[in-house]
Structure formats: structure tokens, C-alpha cells
Structure 1
Amino acid sequence: MSEATLWLAIGAILILLILSGFFSGSETSLTAASRARMHQMEKNGDRRAVLVSKLIAARERLIGALLLGNNLVNILASSLATSVFLHLFGDAGVAIATLVMTFLVLIFAEVLPKTWAIYAPERFALAVAPIVRVVVAVFGPVVVAVEAIVRLILRLVGVNVNDDALALSAHEELRGTVDLQHKEGGLVKAERDRIGGLLDLAELEVSDVMVHRTNMVALNADEDLPKLVEAALASPYTRLPLWRGESDNFVGVLHSKDLLRALFAAGGDSEKLEITQIISQPWFVPDTTSLQDQLNAFLKHKAHFALVVDEYGEVMGLVTLEDILEEIVGEIADEHDVELEGVRPQADGSVIVDGSVPIRDLNRATDWNLPDDEATTIAGLVIHEARMIPEERQIFTFHGFRFTVLRREKNRITRLRIMPLSQLKVQPAAASAAAQVAPAARS
């Protein structure tokens, strides 16, 4: 090998290392680039973002082309380096070439470009996209053949790469992004809860958020009109269900505005009112209706109120548009709401909770993660896990918490104390420290 050929080979090795770094960095940036950001840049008219989106859309072919190019230049660079070092050092040149090329490829063709690319993936992807498009077009036929061979081999070992069962749904991907942003400080808890509540609408049913029948305020349509009007005006609610004959025979819904209009037309004389002409027909919805479907139904019918029935047609409770909105934005209170203190944090780290408090509301208030698959309220969760109706002062431990039943009325748990087990571990340590400090203070 002449001296000129030697320098040409060294120059070619350097160029191949640069190309290897280009392929490595391009692969990292294009796979790490945010499709959402690219979509936004595409909407703003960035042509390179359009190109990046097209490349990412065919991810398998993109990665195949970049890997093919990277392997070609690495193998060629190693071959040239082996020839150069054999010429310079004889038989020992093979070992020296292996060590030197491993170091150069690792630092300059892998770690350095990938670190650079992962630091600013979108900017790197926009810069390399025009060149990568040409690479994908050139290596396209070879990559297609390689993909076919790979799929055939995987199918022979029982792997079907066309199966999308493990792919994350859009909701799961959004949920994971929201949780990650909250963990990293990008979203405060309230923002995370609002977005999470919106994503949960399709998974929740109206039975999860409805006002149970035992807590409903309903009026007897057969009541004397003056008493009926007085009860309606004294209620903090705008819409009130009316029953007749039996308490589960709901015949209509009375709207306070309709009542006031009728009273004004009658000159304030409630005896002149005809209740059947004021009330509207009740709207019954199944308890298994998803919140997302019910929200759409409310918007479509321009309604705010519905009675919830089970599979036998029995009224279980009522659901309002406000109940659904509260799952997104949290508790909505106005000047007429009667606020019930259902969650009371204690100085020792425990929380005293009314049994009727929904698990989801408790989780949002305390940032806990108690399961709500098998029960809606916190009392229902304790009964489900205990497989019995607990007695007062009975203690249970599950899901990382200690539950103490404080009050029970008939078969209903009305008050509990909940203590995280992690808090229980902290208290003995604090007590021990206080005991050590006390003798020192006395001495």
C-alpha cells in the first residue's frame, strides 16, 4: 500500500465515521421526536415538519433504512481500518484495528451523536429529514425485502408483529403523558386531575357519579299546592323530581323557573296552579350509560337532569350535567349549595371520611390511589374487601391503608378513619426520637 493510498484510506475512514454518526443521530432523533409537536409545526406551515411526519409514519421502513446505512458504513470503515493497521503493524494490526475502531465508533459514531440528538430531538430531526428522505428512497427496495424476511422468521417462532393488542390506545398514551408531566413538575395536581377526569369519562358510568335515591330530594305531586310550592322554593335545587302514589313512581320534574313563571301568571296565588301543566316529563337513563355518552346526550337534548334506572326499571338515583362536569373540573359549589364536610384531615396524618364519600373524590382530594373498580363509595370499598358488614371500632388493612370503622348505622358505615401505612411507620420513629430528646432535656 503506497503512502497516497494509505492517506486516502484514513480519510475514507473518517468520512465513514461521520456518516455512521449521522445515521445514529438521525435514528435517535426521528424516533424520539414528538409527533404532537411536529403536527403543530406542520399546521404552522413548516415544510420540514411535514417531511418528518411522513418519515415517522413509516417508522419500520425508516429504522430499517438507517440501520442498513449505518451497518454498511461501519463494516466498510472497519475493513479499511484493518487494511491500514495490517500495513502498519503486520499481523498485530487486526487486534489494534479492532480496539481503535471500537473506541472511535463507540464515541464518535454512537454515544456523541445520540446524546446530541436526544438533547434536542425535534431540532435534530428537522435538520436531517431532507437527507434521510433520500436514504430511505435509495434503500427502500432492500428494506422491503429485509422486512419480509424478518416477518417470516418471527412468524415461524410464533410472533405476529401485526398484532396491535399491545399498542397503547390514545387515551392510555395521553394518561401516561399527563402523569409523567405531573411527576416532572410540568403540571400541577389540579391540572392533572382535570385532564385525567376528562379521559375517564368513557370508563365511568352514571351509577358512579349519580346522587343515590336515598339522598334525593323529591316532592309528592299529591301534596297540597301551597305546601308543594313552599317545599320547592325552600329547596337549594333548581330541578326536583315529583312522585305520585308511591315514592318510586316518578311522574315528572319540576323546574323552579317554571314554577315562578306560573306563580307570577297566577298573581302569586298558588291555589290557582295546576301542577301537571308545570312539570316536564322525566327522562330515564340506564345506570350502565357511560359518562361520555350521557354528556353527549345532555348536550344533544339541551337537558341537565335525568333519573337513573337499573336493569329492572327501578329508579336508583339521579344524574345532572353538573355531576358529570364535576368529574372534570372538581367540586362545583354555588351560593345555594349545602357543603358537607365529608373529608377531614387529622394532625396525625389520618383522614376521617364519611362513608358516602366517593372513592374518586377522596383520591383527588388526598392524591391517593384507592381502587374504585368494585365500589363507588369508601364504605362500599371497605365492605367489599372485608366481605362482611363491619362492627364499630373494627380495623382492616388493605391497599396500603388502615381503615377503622368509627360509626355504623344499621347496615351502613357512616364514618371511617383512614391512615396510610407509610404514615404509621413514621410515627414510631418520631416517638422514639422524642423519647430520646426528653431525658436529655431533663439532664
Structure 2
Amino acid sequence: MDAISTSTLFIILGVLLVLSAFFSGSETGMMSVNPYRLKHLENENNSGAKRVSKLLKRPDRLIGLILIGNNLVNIAAATVTALIGQRLYGDLGLAIAPVALTLVVLIFAEVTPKTLAALYPERVAFPASIILNVLLKIFYPFVFLLNKVTNGLLSLMGVSPEKHRGNSLSAEELRTVVHEAGALIPEQHQNMLVGVLDLENVTVEDIMVPRNEILGIDFNDDWKDIMRQLGNAQHSRLLLYRDSIDDALGFIHPRDLVRLLLKEQLNKASLLRSVHEIYYIPEGTALNTQLLKFQSTKERIGLVVDEYGDIQGLVTLEDILEEVVGEFTTDVVEDSHEEIVKQPDGSYLIDGTINLRDLNRQMQLEFPTDGPKTLNGLLLEYLEEIPQGSLSVKLAGYPIEIIDVHDNMIKTVRLLLQR
């Protein structure tokens, strides 16, 4: 080393610091690359993404290579710094050399390159992977031996790098990713994606039409009444029953009625023969499961039944799809009253039979949905009795005034949004 000039030693030190910065930045850049964007670029045949992905498949080898290189470089830099310090300041130089090198390494070979790599991981990782691939071939025996030792220690802790599963997301984590996408994904698309994820957390009774609201035709009515109901029907399918919905016969499709009318064969007997068999849905079925069942059975409508076989409500394919895409159809029949009516004083008159999930979605509220499905049911559960007249309560933090009680049901309430 005595034959090497001081200026040459400074040049060598500079090169070693550059190499140290390379290894430090490469480590951060490789580990900071978005794995899902990396997979996307790999599928588009991006050569840099393919190299990085190959290296990341065995992170133990990659980290071993980087640490071997970084430690060799830093040890060499420490030796060169000590020589420079001794030549310039003697024993004092030997004492201050480690401190000076530590400061220089921290600033120029650690913090700066790692920060840059964390901000622009792809710009650092993709070109660095070319050099790392070459170095891995050169130092493979050392990396192999190092990995054997470290993997042996990891195996004692039950960790196997060979069986590393990579990155995976739970439904909740994926929901967070969708929300955090911001302007990258339009809000409407975000809502649709979250709607798909929410299907597994929602059951058929959350969206079903309750049995007391199911529109159907009593087969025991006079034929004239039946014809009038058929003529005024606005739904694509009607339930045919005898006396009560519990004795349901099947669903009537408009196309079958048209066919019978064209043949002038529409009567009670032909109407009964044209009904389609009822598809029953067990209570508690998750919407994602029911959607797949509708697809496999080629059905579009079904009756929800409880554990005793009693009919609880009606669910259609459109109901499930609207949970994903929102309201996309307009009912021909308009309700005689709105479920939510804003008042001049800022309060809202709300129909007690409104579905809690719909109420929460429309008004951005937070009523609990893990129990009763309607506002009436939630209030009755809270009160533990049927109120006999006007009553004010505070439910889930919202002031509510019960306005109308009829037929053992809370028909109308007034909601104030001042929480």
C-alpha cells in the first residue's frame, strides 16, 4: 500500500463508496418494488421486471449477495480510510478515520441512495438487476454457503425460504388498496370493486323483499280479478299461490302469458301449467355464493326460506347485481310514497320498513346491520316493546322520533342528523 499515492487511495475510496451506495440502493429498490405492478410489467414482457421478479423469488439469495458485496466494500473502505488518515495525520488520523468514514458512509452510501431507491424503486431496481445477476453468478458459491447456514437457522424457527409464498392480499387488505387508489381508479369503479368484495359479508335476507311485500296472484281469486292483476302487473315475474304465499305454486313469466294469449288458450288450467318451479334459497346464504348458484342453475329469482321451510322473502339476480353496480334499473311501478322524505326543518321522515343497509348507503349513516334488517326491527329490538304512540329515542347516536305505529309496526319515524 505504501507504493500507492494518497490521491490514488482517495480515488479507490470514492469507487468503494459508489459501490457501497449501489448495494445499499439496490437492496432498498429491490425490496420496495410494488409486487403487483411488477407482476403486471412482467406479464407485459418487460425485461427489467422479469429480472427483478426472478431475483425476488429467492430473497435469501438476493439479500445474501447484497450483504456480501456491501460488507466487502465497506471493510475495504475502512482499510483505505485508515491508510489515508495515518498518512495525513498519523496516529490522530487512525483515531478519527472510523468516525469520518461512518459519517460519509451514512450520508453518501446509505441514507441518500436508500431514500432515492425508496422513492423510485423501479428506476433503481431494474438496471441494478443486470449487475446483480452477473454478481450472483460470480459469487454463487459464497452465496450458496451463506444461505445454507442462514436457512438452517431459519428452519429451526419454522421458516423456509424455498416455500416463500410471496405477496398475497386478504379481502380487507384488497379493499384498502382499492380505496387508496385515489384518482387511479374512478370512484364508481372503486364502489363496484368494493361491492364485489362485500358480497361475501352480505346474506340474502339483507337484500330480499320481505314476504309481506311480495306481489303475487292468488289462484283462488275469480278469473276476472286474476286477468286484471295480470294486466296491471309491472314485474317480470309474478308469484302464483293459493290463499297465502305459504302455498306458493310457482312463478309466471310474461312470455308464457303472451304465448297463451296468442293461442287464445289463457285460462286457469293453462295458467297453472305454465308456472315455473320455485327455486328455494336457504336463509343465511352469502350473496357471493348465491350469485354462483344463480349462474349454475340458470335461475334469476328465488324464495328465501328459514330452517323450518317457511318463506321469508324473495331475492332476484338483479338484487345481487345492484349490490355491486348500484341501482341500474328503474321500476315501472313507483311507490305511492318515498321511503326517505326531507323536511323543511332539515329532518327526514323515513318509512319504518326501509332496509337498514339501504338507509345507511343512501344517507351515509352507521346503523348496525348485524341484527334486524329494517329500521322498524332495529327500533323494536331496542325498545323491547311496541310503542303505543309518539316516542323519542337516541339510537346508534341518532335522535329518532317515532311518528306513526300501525299494525304492530313502526310505520314512520323522524330522523335528525345532529349526532
Residues 1:69 and 2:65 aligned together? no
Q: Residue 237 of structure 1 aligns with which residue?
A: 235
Distance 1:362-1:116 versus aligned 2 partners, 3 A rule: farther
- State the secondary structure of the residue aligned to 2:370: coil
Larger CA deviation: 234-243 vs 78-87? 78-87
| Equivalent position of 1:430 in the other structure | none
Residues 1:151 and 1:390: Cα distance change in structure 2 (over 3 Å): farther
1:44 Cα deviation (Å)?
2.2
Q: Does residue 279 in structure 1 map to residue 279 in structure 2? A: no
Q: Tell me, yes or no, if structure 1 residue 32 matches structure 2 residue 7.
A: no
Instruction: Extract unaligned runs of 5+ from structure 1.
Output: 422-443
Assess if the C-alpha contact under 8 Å between 2:30 and 2:125 holds in 1: yes
Task: Give the partner amino acid of 1:49.
Answer: A
Alpha-carbon contact 1:243-1:249 (below 8 Å) kept:
yes
- Residue of structure 1 equivalent to 2:384: 388
Matches within 5 A, 1:38-437: 38-94=38-94, 96-136=96-136, 138=140, 139-150=143-154, 152=156, 154=157, 169-182=169-182, 185-266=183-264, 270-271=266-267, 274-334=270-330, 336-338=332-334, 341-344=338-341, 352-368=349-365, 370-381=367-378, 386=382, 388-389=384-385, 391=387, 392-396=390-394, 398=396, 401-409=397-405, 410-412=408-410, 414-419=412-417, 421=419
Mean Cα deviation higher: 93-102 or 211-220 = 93-102
Shift of 1:279: 0.6
- Tell which deviates more after alignment, 72-81 or 199-208: 72-81
Q: Secondary structure at the match of 1:336?
A: coil
Letter in 2 for 1:142: L
1:294-319 CA distance string (max 9 Å, x none): 11222222221111111111111111
> Counterparts of 1:67 and 1:420 in 2: how far apart (Å)?
59
Change (3 A) 1:145 1:341: farther
User: In the aligned structure 1, how far is the partner of 2:163 from the partner of 2:344?
Assistant: 52
Kept after mapping to 1: 8 A contact 2:349/2:412: no
Residues 66 and 136 in structure 1, CA contact (< 8 A), matched pair in contact too = no
CA distance in 1, matches of 2:41, 2:410: 56
Distance 1:405 1:192, change over 3 A: farther
Cα displacement (A) at 1:261: 1.6
| Structure 1 residues 343-376: Cα deviation after superposition (integer angstroms, max 9, x where no partner) | 4567877655433333433443344555433343
Distance 1:148 1:228 in 2: 80
Change (3 A) 1:369 1:169: farther
Change (3 A) 1:239 1:44: same
Q: Which residue of the partner structure matches residue 441 of structure 1?
A: none
The 10-residue stretch of structure 1 (19-28 or 330-339) with the greater mean CA deviation from structure 2: 330-339
Kindly state the Cα deviation for residue 219 of structure 1 after the two structures are TM-superposed.
1.7
- Percent identity over paired residues: 32
In structure 1, C-alpha distance between the alignment counterparts of 2:350 and 2:90, rounded to whole Å:
82
- For residue 48 of structure 2, give the secondary structure of its aligned residue in structure 1: helix
- Give the deviation of 1:331 after TM superposition: 1.4
Cα distance between partner residues in 2 of 1:103 and 1:188: 47
Cα distance between partner residues in 2 of 1:367 and 1:331: 16
Distance 1:144 1:346 in 2: 74
Number of residue pairs aligned between Structure 1 and Structure 2: 409
Which stretch has the larger CA shift, 344-353 or 408-417?
344-353
CA offsets 1:8-46 (integer angstroms, 9 cap, x no match) = 443333222222222222222222222332222222222
Task: Describe the shift of the 1:22–1:259 C-alpha distance in structure 2 as closer, same or farther (beyond 3 A).
Answer: same
The CA distance in 2 between the partners of 1:338 and 1:283, in whole Å, is 27
**Stretch of structure 1 that moved more, 236-245 or 89-98:** 89-98
Say if 1:206 and 1:288, in contact at 8 Å, map to a contact too: yes
User: TM-score with structure 2 length normalisation?
Assistant: 0.84
Is 1:23 the equivalent of 2:19?
Answer: no
SS at match of 2:181: helix
SS in 1 for 2:329: coil
| Equivalent pair of 1:395/1:403 in contact (CA under 8 Å) | yes
| Residues 317/12 of structure 1: CA separation in 2 closer, same or farther (3 Å cut) | same
> How far apart in 2 are the matches of 1:78 and 1:390?
83
